[in-house]
Every structure is written in C-alpha cells, then in structure tokens.
Amino acid sequence: MSIKKILTTAFAVAAISSSISWGQTLTCSGGKEQQMGSTGGYDYELWSQQGAGSATMKLNVSAENGGAFEVEWQGTINMLARTGKRWGSNSNVTVQNVGNITSEFEVEWSSTDNVKYVSVYGWGYYDRGDEPSGFSNEIEYYIVQDRGSYNPTSGGKKWGSAVIDGISYDFYTTDRINQPSLSGTSTFKQYWSIPSNTSQHRTKGTISISKHFSEWAKAGMKMGKLYEVASMKIESYTGNTGTAKGYAKVKKNLLKIGGSADELALNVTASPAAAGTVTKSPSANYYAPKTNVQLTAKANEGWKFVGWEGDATGSTETISVTMDKEKSVVAKFELVGETTVNLFKDGDFPSGSVISTSQDASWFLGQGTNWGNSAAKTSVAGGTATVDVTTIGSETYQPQLVQYNMALDKGMKYKLSFKASADADRKIEASFQQSVDPWGAYATKEFDITTTEQEYSFIFAMEEDSDDAAQFAFNLGQATGAVKISDVKLVFTTAEPGSEGGENPTSSASVEPGSSASVEPGSSASDPGQFIAGQFMVQGAKTFQVFDMQGKFLGKVDVAAGSSMNDVLMAKFHKSGIYMIKCGSFMQRVAVK
C-alpha cells in the first residue's frame, strides 16, 4: 500500500509561539490547515491536510499529566495532533547530550480509520557525512505504541530488534521521495520502532525514548541533532475519501528530559489488569543500578494473589527486586468468585450526557453516513436508555450503541447482563470485538426482545490474545422502533459459557440426520433455533460468519452456490460439532460430523 502522505511544514519551521489557556479548543476546518504554539512548557500542533473536514484539539496541559490533550476529527484527509518539545533547526541539542528522555502516557482512542497511530514522533538530523547517498540529512522518526491495520514499515528495511520497556520492537527505515520535510521538499529517511507483535500494542505505559535512540545507533540507524520530540502524537490518514472519523483523549503525556540514560526501567503490571494493584517503594519508573525496590501486590474484591512472574518469583505479596538490569514483573491474580465491580462505564445510564455521537462520552451512538446511513436518536430517563431507530443501515449492526476501550483478558470468563424491552417484539445483538480492522469478533449473541422488560445474560470466555481496547456494542439494525436498555453490567465470573439458562427460549425443531435442508439467507426459513443435523445446502454464493455455541467468532467462510455448508465447515475448521453461521440477518445452527 502506497500512501502519499503530505506532512505539514508548520511544525518543521520556526514558529511564532502563542499563549493558549488551559482547556482552550483549537480548530482546523474550512481550509485552515494548522494551529500551533506553546503553553505550559509544551509545544503543540494540530494539523489537517488542506483544512478538509473538521479537526478540533483541546489542550489540557498540567503539571500532573503533562501535555495532555483531546482531539476529534471527521472527514479529514491526513490529521495529526501532538504535544512535546521543539528545539528547532538551529539547536545544538543532540541525542548524545540531551540526557535521558522518557514519556509516561495514557490514551483512550477510537477510530474507523485503518491508517492511524499512537506514537512518539519527531525530526532529527544525520551528522555530516552520515547521511545516505541521495538523501537529505533530515530524519523523520516514529516510536509506535498502537496503530490500525496498516503496517507503515511494509516494504521497509529491517535493521534489528530489541526489548525496551518490556516490549519487543523491530527497527525499520523507509524512504520518502520528494515529500514535504523540514527544508520544504526533499528525499529523506524515516526511522521506525514498531512492536514485533500486535498483541504488544498498548495505550498506556512508559516509553524510554532515549533507549530507542541508543538501540537504533547500535543497529546502524544513526542520528545526531534533534529538531524535536513529540512525546505523544495521534495521527489518522484516509486520503481523499472523506471517511475519516475518530476521537482520542490523551489523558497523560508526561515528558521528562534530563538525568542519566543509565537508569534502569522497572515495569510492573497486574494480570488481569482489573484484578488488583502493585505498588513500588520507592515509587519510580527508573532506578539507578543496584537499587532495591519493594513490590507489594494487593488483590481487589473477588480475587486472590497467586504469585509473581517475569523477572521475579515467589508467592508472598511483598518481595524485593534488585535493579541489575531492566525488569518486567507481573503480579498474577486468580478469580475466587463472580466479581461485583461493573467493567462498563455508566452502565446504569445516570444521565443523557453519557451517550453521545461525538465519541467523548461513555457510550457512543453509531449512526449516519459511516453506519450505512442508519438513523437513530437516544434519550435517558430513570436509568433507562431509549434508542429510537428510525432507519436501519445496510448491515444488521447499524445503528449501534457502543462502548470503546474495554479491556478483555485472555483466559478469563465474563458475564454480560442487561435489562431490555422494545415497542414491538424484535431481535438485538450484543457483541465484543476488536475496535480496529479487521474488527474480529470475540463473542456475540442475538437476543429476542419483547415488549415486556426482561433481564438477559450471556457468559463467554476470552480465548484470543488480551485486548485492552476492545469494543462492546448493542447492534440494533434488525428493525426500526424503540429499544429500552438498562442495568448493563459486565463482570468476571467462574461460571461456564452456556450455563446462563432461562433467556431467549428457541425452537427445538431439527432436520433428521441423513436428510437435507436448503435455505437461502434472508428467507423466512432463517431461524437460529432450528438445528440442522443433516446436509445444509446453500442456494446462492455467500460469505458467512461462523461462531461456536458459546458465541466465539471462529472466522469466515466463502460458500459457492449449491455447496454443502457442512462440508465447507469441516474443511475450514477440521472439527465436528455444532456451529452457528450468520449472513446478514440470517442465523442458523448447523451440525458437522
């Protein structure tokens, strides 16, 4: 994939600093490309190519959270928002004399764009004589923490890899030919640190920026003077499609410059993250060599501490580690019963402000152009959210009521429960999935909702890699009309998937073994309760989503007209059993022997 990304020179030229008050909102739209300046010791920039669409940035700079900010964009071509430190082109600051550079960050973000980054970003220079033949002395660099499905290093040159802050990074260079740069238009190199595995993407933690510079140099990626370091940047690119849409809240961007680069990082985490806490004494992210650090684990209600993993061992709640190298330590907890803490934010819908179409609230109403031209509106009264669907979209999930940034831990079991009713009998779907392309489903279940309020529940096991930024959605595109939802809860449980019982009674009709059924998706014969034990013949070529009976998404299958679904499922998954297949609003259980 070739992306003709246009970078602004605004952040790459001498700027006229402006004094921006805390909380002020900056806007790029209507042809206005760029807003930049300095406030509270942080340089900032908001940029939107050609001023297309709309991008807004709210500065929340503080001593506690550093260069924190929020940014929202829609209909943009290429958008970036960032805060950090800019020394400029005439500075003598180098990666060697600047001291130790670190960043503590925390981000919540959601976007439908495939090309997007949460990263450290900046520009630097080669020392004289080090620049590659045919290239300028300018270097554009990224230290990626999270991204969309597009891998920006595809086609680049890999120079090496290293573990930094407990994450395995690969180091790449890519070429930018005759593109906007610090000097106007030039041919220059890009440096990349990118996690080796997407499972190591993260939205909070500590970034040892100087250690990346050091490891790059060891690998042969040299850099001398620094123009800037944007310790946190949000970027989105969609080209001229006008489909860009997203929101990011950089809750912390604490940039620290100075001190010794010899200090060692100690990363501690609780697993699962919601199970407990770990404290360090003395409390810091970096320590001088040979420092002794006391770690104490404390379990939350419903959990018990079981031991330490990583660069520490033992089962006592308090241990001591000696900093003779960089270390990553994990406190492991075990569930002892169903928890009571709701993992959803505002699942009790305390006010109408918790639902928004601008992704800055706990719940997001997805409708309109990017949701199949569906239309819906919401209201909240007495702890109940009403979603009035006036137009359904082109897919059955459109429109949808979404909560982003849900942390789901591999190997854990969860129980979803909620109350619901509708102004007419209908179906709705609850789904947990990736919040980025390919939007892989972790668990999904369809519910039959009646005009009488009932409580519904769904237990599922998270069998995929942990995802700290998953999304949950009520998919409401099956029918128009009003749906009332309340008391939405998600808790950890020890119960097994399928043990809920009692909700959504379905038909027990079946096709006898040896017989066959032929059903066209979209026909009236679609009934997820109907169990087809014989051959299931597909009339028209279709693509089906496939789930197991616990609601776990298994993958997709392309089925040719006249083919046996049973045979296709066996060829794809090599396992007998009962599968749930779905195509649009059509759902069906099929037995494979």
Domain final residue pick, 203, 237, 257: 257
Q: Is residue 344 part of a domain?
A: no
312 and 455, same domain (yes or no) = no
Q: Is residue 48 part of a domain?
A: yes
308 and 387, same domain (yes or no) = no
217 and 179, same domain (yes or no) = yes
Q: Is residue 135 part of a domain?
A: yes
124 and 220, same domain (yes or no) = yes
| pLDDT at site 270 | 92
| pLDDT at site 526 | 47
Say which amino acid occupies 177.
Answer: I
Q: Please answer whether residues 211 and 166 qualify as being in contact, where contact means their C-beta atoms are separated by less than 8 angstroms.
A: no
In this structure, what CATH number is given to the domain that contains residue 426? 2.60.120.260
- In degrees, rounded to 5, the angle at the alpha carbon of residue 386 between the alpha carbons of residues 382 and 391 is 170
Single pTM value for the model: 0.59
Which residue numbers in the chain have pLDDT < 70? Answer: 1-23, 259-261, 359, 436-437, 501-534, 549-552, 584-585
Q: Is residue 562 part of a domain?
A: yes
**Secondary element (H or E) of residue 569:** helix 565-573
125 and 253, same domain (yes or no) = yes
| pLDDT at site 12 | 32
3-state secondary structure 209-257: HHHHHHHHHHHCCCCCEECEEEEEEEEEECHHHCCCEEEEEEEEEEEEE
pLDDT tens per residue across span 470-504 = 899 999 999 999 999 999 999 999 998 887 764 44
CA 68/CA 284 separation, integer angstroms: 20
16 and 99, same domain (yes or no) = yes
Positions marked catalytic? 140, 235
Count how many domains the chain has.
4
| pLDDT at site 101 | 92
Q: Please answer whether residues 478 and 426 qualify as being in contact, where contact means their C-beta atoms are separated by less than 8 angstroms.
A: yes
Q: Is residue 365 part of a domain?
A: yes
91 and 174, same domain (yes or no) = yes
143 and 94, same domain (yes or no) = yes
309 and 387, same domain (yes or no) = no
Q: Please answer whether residues 399 and 365 qualify as being in contact, where contact means their C-beta atoms are separated by less than 8 angstroms.
A: yes
243 and 317, same domain (yes or no) = no
In this structure, what CATH number is given to the domain that contains residue 113? 2.60.120.180
| Residue that the structure tokens 């998937």 belong to | 497
* Distance, first Cα to last Cα, the chain: 42
Q: Which residues contact 442 (CB under 8 A, 6 or more apart)?
A: 408, 432, 433, 434, 460, 462, 463, 464, 467, 470, 552, 553
Q: Is residue 382 part of a domain?
A: yes
> What single-letter DSSP state applies at residue 32?
-
| Residue that the structure tokens 């102004």 belong to | 423
Domain final residue pick, 492, 519, 554: 492
Structure token pair of residue 20: 């921006």
R_g of the chain, CA atoms, integer Å: 26
Structure token pair of residue 75: 């209909």
Helix, strand or coil, per DSSP, at residue 571:
helix
CA 321/CA 368 separation, integer angstroms: 54
Q: Please answer whether residues 44 and 85 qualify as being in contact, where contact means their C-beta atoms are separated by less than 8 angstroms.
A: no
| pLDDT at site 286 | 79
Q: Is residue 399 part of a domain?
A: yes
61 and 177, same domain (yes or no) = yes
Structure token pair of residue 170: 């690969």
Q: Which residues contact 505 (CB under 8 A, 6 or more apart)?
A: none
Q: Is residue 61 part of a domain?
A: yes
Domain range for 286:
264-335
191 and 225, same domain (yes or no) = yes
CA 187/CA 343 separation, integer angstroms: 49
Domain final residue pick, 257, 278, 303: 257
